[in-house]
């Protein structure tokens, strides 16, 4: 056979391995979760490809994961019948850093070190393949990809800077497809090589893997065997006399080894919501989306009728890590399944509008073709209907948070995702009715706690027709604006729009429950207290003064008018009815420089 070739790890990999071994030593058992999740990913990939290439499944048996232990020698084998790896893939995947889980882990590690927080948190991250070195000092990966006609063996040792790859030569280890990972456990970790220990960990960590996981374990069944009767003993009491009439038997336990199904493979979204508790939903969320905090809310539903699908949606408790831009179209937030087969999590607005990309979830439909492509998704009427229903359900879920008895929940939501909803006012006219009740603003009568538009409406004066707002860059400067004077005097509440996006969002809404939004900094603000007689009088008296001021200011102002909106300031600069507000001008200026 060709000799083994030696390769150096990418520098980051060595660093990562050090970090894992040094920070997760109290969480060693995560290795099993990581290896099972890789096996499950590999099976997902194969199942997906086999939809269009059924020949991939030929001769390879079922799609499952098998774990076999040898407790005497401290060895664990994790075998999957998934997609396997080619020689090049071994180098790319196990010699260089993987992007997904691992980079998140590094970031979290840094954050938690900065914050001095508990490293236990990190145990909940996807730390990947190398976590196997927590318990093993030698790892052998024997793998066969359908793309290659050869099977390869990768071997690595803990604390080494290189690994080897060679062709598989042991005929007993040849497999038609998939991957077999063998862990040679460290002296102190041999205890993991017990079927009972493995079973317990699988039940704990991998209950949401949708492929069967089997453990190789010793089983027993009881058997009645006939025995010879010892007459002296049997006649001691009546009980024995009765049994004497039957045949004399003895129960013995027959032992044998076999594969035992260890996990529940029914996906959680197919279960009856009544039988699933919050903890299950939260676990599923954390496992599926690589999150370490429970979600803020979840919603599990089935829709019937025109299009049938099942879904669980979640609102995260924290904004996505390390992403400052509010809408990242590539968030992989929705996982689409067709008839339980994972299809894709790579969407760009097809299933959820971009502004709702913070909502995470799984969607499983029986109505889409298994070989659904990007193009089909974009054109499909079914997908359009699904999208509509998902969006509605998402809003219901958010509304639920807003009605929670615990006001803090919604404050937290708003802090994290308020901007997204405001963006929705701009991008999604169709859902204005659903978004508007969820908005929150400070106001002249509530400078510390944000209020909803409904709270504003309740607080309106009987004669008040409109919703008043003023845009500014902070609550303090909004509360000091002279535009407010008259309204404060009349005890009219004014919304403070202090987030740059607020004003555009409100202008897109135009009205709420038939009340128009009115910018109090615009000219001709009508507070419904016009006195025509008196205005005429004042105009005559001060008309010349206005003309004089206009002459002096020239082009700097559009016009000079007598106003009834002030009570203590002598004059105020207002914006034209159709022009930009001062706040918008400031924003536009900020954008052009």
178 known member of a binding site: no
CA–CA gap between residue 72 and residue 435 (Å, rounded): 62
Indicate whether 38 belongs to the interface with ligand ADP (CB under 6 A).
yes
CB under 5 to 8 A by kind: which of Mg ion, ligand ADP, none does 85 bind? ligand ADP
Indicate whether 146 belongs to the interface with ligand ADP (CB under 6 A).
no
129 known member of a binding site: yes
- Is the Cβ of residue 205 or residue 442 nearer to ligand ADP in the bound state? 205
The CB-of-102 to ligand ADP minimum distance in angstroms stands at: 6
CB under 5 to 8 A by kind: which of ligand ADP, Mg ion, none does 179 bind? ligand ADP
Nearest in space to 557 (alpha carbons), one of 549, 565, 567: 549
CB under 5 to 8 A by kind: which of ligand ADP, Mg ion, none does 314 bind? none
Indicate whether 309 belongs to the interface with ligand ADP (CB under 6 A).
no
Q: Name the helix (H) or strand (E) containing 102.
A: helix 100-114
Nearest in space to 572 (alpha carbons), one of 560, 583, 555: 560
| Number of residues near ligand ADP (by CB under 6 A) | 20
Q: What is the 3-state secondary structure (H, E, C) of 118-163?
A: CHHHHHHCCCCHHHHHHCEEEEEEEEECCCCCCEEEEEEECCCCEE
Contact 546, 560 (CB under 8 A): yes
* Member of 16, 30, 39, 438 binding ligand ADP (CB under 6 A): 39
* Member of 52, 100, 204, 278 binding ligand ADP (CB under 6 A): 100
472 known member of a binding site: no
- Is the Cβ of residue 147 or residue 433 nearer to ligand ADP in the bound state? 147
Indicate whether 182 belongs to the interface with ligand ADP (CB under 6 A).
no
- Is the Cβ of residue 164 or residue 511 nearer to ligand ADP in the bound state? 164
- Is the Cβ of residue 83 or residue 297 nearer to ligand ADP in the bound state? 83
Indicate whether 34 belongs to the interface with ligand ADP (CB under 6 A).
yes
The CB-of-99 to ligand ADP minimum distance in angstroms stands at: 7
CA–CA gap between residue 145 and residue 156 (Å, rounded): 20
* Member of 84, 128, 178, 361 binding Mg ion (CB under 5 A): 128
Cα distances (Å, whole numbers) of residue 473 to 259, 385, 477: 66, 40, 7
CA–CA gap between residue 41 and residue 342 (Å, rounded): 10
CA–CA gap between residue 422 and residue 407 (Å, rounded): 20
Helix (H/G/I), strand (E/B), else coil: 271:
coil
Give residue number: closest CB to Mg ion: 38
Indicate whether 38 belongs to the interface with Mg ion (CB under 5 A).
yes
Indicate whether 158 belongs to the interface with ligand ADP (CB under 6 A).
no
127 known member of a binding site: yes
Nearest in space to 502 (alpha carbons), one of 579, 583, 413: 583
Helices 407-427 and 500-509: crossing angle in degrees, nearest 10, is 70
String marking each residue 63-92 x if it binds ligand ADP according to CB under 6 A = -----------------x-xxxx-------
CB under 5 to 8 A by kind: which of ligand ADP, Mg ion, none does 79 bind? none
Helices 407-427 and 381-402: crossing angle in degrees, nearest 10, is 140
CA–CA gap between residue 446 and residue 407 (Å, rounded): 15
The CB-of-62 to ligand ADP minimum distance in angstroms stands at: 16
424 known member of a binding site: no
Indicate whether 42 belongs to the interface with ligand ADP (CB under 6 A).
yes
Give the range of 37-45, 141-149, 215-223, 500-508 binding Mg ion by CB under 5 A.
Answer: 37-45
Q: Would strands 467-471 and 494-497 be described as parallel, antiparallel, or unpaired?
A: parallel
Contact 567, 485 (CB under 8 A): yes
Contact 145, 84 (CB under 8 A): yes
Half-sphere exposure of 452 (CA within 13 A, CB side): 16
Query: Which residues bind to ligand ADP, rule: CB under 6 A?
Result: 34, 38-39, 41-42, 80, 82-85, 93-94, 98, 100-102, 126, 128-129, 179
Residue numbers in the known binding site for ATP are 34, 38, 80, 85, 100-101, 124-129, 179, 374
């Amino acid at each position: 056979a060709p000799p083994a070739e030696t390769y150096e790890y990418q520098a980051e990999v060595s660093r990562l391995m050090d970090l894992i071994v040094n920070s997760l030593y109290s969480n060693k058992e995560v290795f099993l979760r990581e290896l099972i999740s890789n096996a499950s990913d590999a099976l997902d990939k194969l199942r997906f490809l086999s939809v269009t290439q059924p020949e991939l499944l030929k001769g390879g048996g079922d799609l499952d994961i098998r774990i076999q232990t040898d407790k005497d020698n401290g060895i664990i084998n994790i075998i999957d019948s998934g997609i396997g790896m080619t020689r090049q893939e071994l180098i790319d995947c196990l010699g260089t850093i993987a992007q997904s889980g691992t980079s998140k882990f590094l970031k979290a590690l840094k954050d938690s070190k900065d914050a001095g927080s508990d490293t236990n948190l990190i145990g909940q991250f996807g730390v990947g393949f190398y976590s196997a070195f927590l318990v093993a000092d030698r790892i052998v990966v024997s793998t066969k990809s359908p793309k290659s006609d050869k099977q390869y063996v990768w071997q690595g040792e803990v604390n080494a800077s290189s690994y080897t790859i060679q062709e598989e030569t042991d005929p007993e280890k040849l497999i038609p497809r998939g991957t077999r990972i063998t862990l040679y456990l460290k002296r102190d970790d041999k205890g993991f090589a017990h079927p009972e220990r493995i079973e317990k960990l699988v039940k704990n960590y991998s209950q949401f893997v949708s492929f069967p996981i089997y453990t190789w374990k010793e089983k027993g069944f009881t058997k009645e065997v006939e025995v010879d009767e010892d007459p002296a003993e049997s006649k001691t009491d009546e009980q024995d006399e009765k049994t004497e009439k039957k045949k004399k038997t003895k129960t013995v336990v027959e032992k044998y080894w076999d594969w035992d199904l260890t996990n529940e493979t029914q996906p959680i979204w197919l279960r009856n919501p009544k039988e699933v508790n919050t903890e299950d939903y939260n676990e599923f969320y954390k496992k599926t989306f690589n999150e370490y905090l429970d979600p803020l809310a979840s919603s599990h539903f089935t829709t019937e009728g025109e299009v049938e699908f099942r879904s669980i949606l979640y609102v995260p408790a924290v904004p996505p890590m390390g992403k400052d831009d509010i809408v990242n179209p590539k968030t992989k937030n929705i996982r689409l399944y067709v008839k339980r087969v994972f299809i894709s999590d790579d969407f760009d607005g097809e299933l959820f509008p971009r502004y709702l990309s913070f909502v995470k979830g799984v969607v499983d439909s029986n109505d889409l073709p298994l070989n659904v492509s990007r193009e089909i998704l974009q054109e499909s009427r079914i997908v359009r209907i699904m999208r509509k229903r998902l969006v509605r359900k998402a809003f219901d879920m958010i509304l639920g948070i807003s009605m929670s008895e615990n006001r803090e929940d919604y404050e937290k939501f708003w802090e994290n995702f308020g901007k997204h909803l405001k963006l929705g006012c701009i991008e999604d006219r169709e859902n204005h009715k659903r978004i508007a009740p969820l908005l929150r603003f400070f106001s002249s009568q509530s400078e510390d706690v944000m209020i909803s538009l409904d709270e504003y409406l309740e607080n309106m004066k009987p004669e008040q027709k409109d919703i008043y707002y003023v845009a500014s860059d902070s609550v303090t400067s909004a509360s000091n604006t002279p535009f407010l004077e008259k309204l404060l005097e009349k005890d009219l509440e004014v919304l403070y729009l202090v987030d740059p996006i607020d004003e555009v969002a409100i202008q897109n809404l135009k009205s709420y429950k038939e009340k128009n939004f009115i910018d109090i900094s615009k000219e001709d603000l009508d507070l419904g207290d016009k006195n025509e007689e008196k205005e005429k009088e004042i105009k005559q008296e001060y008309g010349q003064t206005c003309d004089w001021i206009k002459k002096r200011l020239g082009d700097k102002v559009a016009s000079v008018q007598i106003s009834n909106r002030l009570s203590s300031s002598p004059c105020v600069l207002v914006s034209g009815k159709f022009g930009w507000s001062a706040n918008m001008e400031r924003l536009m200026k900020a954008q052009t420089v």
